[in-house]
């Protein structure tokens, strides 16, 4: 989660001028959310597609030492949903902050 937060922070700081120009040209906040959010949602989905099979495999292998109920969907679905919510809130907060910046200030600083 910290890696995704740091990634979105660097990405939004680097693309401030692009966001300012888009806002001057009439972009809405939803357009800016879509601009940043689609790549991070895809990143999360790919990470989950890789992590779930690996975690299930490790749980099956460790079943002889520790008794996991890996067939129970609540074991892996609740942590995945909690991580998704934290990531979604983190990304939304950073995008909201960049979307609410005055474009004149950003362009003036450049």
Q: Please determine, for residue 27, whether its predicted confidence score (pLDDT) is greater than 70.
A: yes
Confidence tier at 45 by pLDDT (50, 70, 90): confident
Confidence tier at 67 by pLDDT (50, 70, 90): low
Q: Please determine, for residue 73, whether its predicted confidence score (pLDDT) is greater than 80.
A: no
Give pairs for 89-96: CB < 8 Å, separation 24+. Answer: 90/1, 90/4, 90/5, 90/8, 91/4, 91/8, 91/36, 91/37, 91/40, 92/33, 92/37, 94/5, 94/8, 94/9, 94/12, 94/36, 95/8, 95/12, 95/32, 95/33, 95/36, 95/37, 96/29
Quick one: average pLDDT of 38-57? 82
């Amino acid at each position: 989660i910290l890696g995704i937060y740091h990634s979105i922070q660097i990405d939004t700081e680097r693309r401030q001028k692009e966001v300012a120009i888009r806002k001057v040209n009439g972009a809405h906040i939803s357009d800016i959310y879509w601009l940043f959010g689609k790549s991070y949602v895809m990143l999360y989905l790919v990470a989950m597609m890789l992590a779930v099979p690996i975690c299930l495999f490790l749980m099956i292998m460790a079943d002889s030492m520790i008794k996991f109920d890996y067939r129970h969907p609540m074991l892996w679905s609740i942590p995945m949903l909690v991580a998704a919510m934290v990531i979604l809130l983190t990304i939304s907060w950073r995008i909201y902050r960049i979307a609410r910046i005055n474009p004149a200030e950003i362009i003036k600083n450049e």
